[in-house]
């Protein structure tokens, strides 16, 4: 009989969203370092790189016409304008990971989260919204990051409640007070979601084998 080509389990699409500065990139980096079974969806963006950001690692930095051509060719699973720049998740690496039963982590805004949840891949989505402990702390974190001008920080603070207003669309909501605690909670969520029955197709064969063993012992 031909070998089954289906993966042992379906890959998860883990979406992290939050107002800018609440800490999702920090949490995403820690999760990726701790869990080699999960890969990061490197977005395309028209935003300029921040100091230390590397093309192809944090983002694929592209021009607006190049981004628009990707949209035109259907190469992005979702895309949105955020803070005046375009951002989008390349479709091909996500589909390859899913076909292989590997998990993908997204650091995207609510618009992208909504588009992926409403796509054909929506059943595989686990969405997590991260809240700051307070708006004053959010502003402190944006400033403390030391990578954005006062004008950019003011723009992101001005948009923060618009992002927060989508919190109830997410499966899980965490307040990021302590980074170790938030990381641990996100890891627990991923572990538990991997154990959902529908994400373990091999269980059908396994339970059939238990049944055969049971019958043989009668």
Ligand X SMILES: Nc1ncnc2c1ncn2[C@@H]1O[C@H](COP(=O)(O)OP(=O)(O)OP(=O)(O)O)[C@@H](O)[C@H]1O
Check if the beta carbon of residue 13 is closer than 8 Å to that of residue 114: no
Check if the beta carbon of residue 14 is closer than 8 Å to that of residue 172: no
- 5 known member of a binding site: no
Is residue 47 a contact residue for ligand LQESDW3C (CB under 6 A)? yes
Distance CA 61, CA 58 (A): 9
Residues 80-109 that bind ligand LQESDW3C (CB under 6 A): 80, 82-83, 87-89, 107-109
Distance CA 209, CA 202 (A): 11
Quick note: the x/- pattern for ligand X over 169-188, rule CB under 6 A, is -------x-xx---------
Distance CA 148, CA 62 (A): 20
Q: Which helix (H) or strand (E) holds 174?
A: strand 172-175
Is residue 18 a contact residue for ligand X (CB under 6 A)? yes
Interaction partner, residue 22 (ligand LQESDW3C, ligand X, none; CB < 5-8 Å by kind): ligand X
**Site residues for ligand LQESDW3C per CB under 6 A:** 20, 43, 47, 78, 80, 82-83, 87-89, 107-109, 111-112
Q: Where do contacts with ligand X occur on this chain (CB under 6 A)?
A: 18, 20-26, 141, 144-145, 176, 178-179
């Amino acid at each position: 009989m031909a070998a089954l080509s289906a993966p042992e389990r379906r890959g998860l699409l883990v979406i992290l969203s939050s107002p800018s500065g609440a800490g999702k990139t920090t949490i995403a980096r820690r999760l990726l370092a701790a869990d080699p079974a999960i890969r990061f969806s490197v977005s395309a963006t028209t935003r300029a790189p921040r100091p230390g950001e590397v093309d192809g690692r944090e983002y694929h930095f592209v021009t607006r016409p190049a981004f628009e051509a990707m949209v035109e060719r259907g190469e992005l699973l979702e895309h949105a304008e955020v803070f005046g720049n375009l951002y989008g998740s390349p479709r091909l690496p996500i589909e390859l990971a899913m076909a292989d039963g590997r998990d993908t982590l997204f650091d995207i805004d609510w618009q992208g989260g909504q588009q992926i949840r409403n796509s054909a891949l929506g059943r595989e989505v686990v969405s997590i919204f991260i809240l700051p402990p307070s708006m004053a702390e959010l502003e402190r974190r944006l400033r403390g990051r030391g990578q954005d001008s006062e004008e950019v920080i003011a723009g992101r603070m001005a948009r923060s409640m618009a992002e927060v207003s989508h919190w109830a669309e997410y499966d899980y909501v965490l307040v990021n007070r302590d980074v170790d605690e938030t990381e641990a909670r996100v890891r627990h969520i991923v572990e538990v979601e991997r154990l959902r029955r529908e994400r373990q197709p091999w269980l059908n064969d396994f339970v059939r084998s238990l049944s055969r063993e049971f019958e043989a012992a009668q």
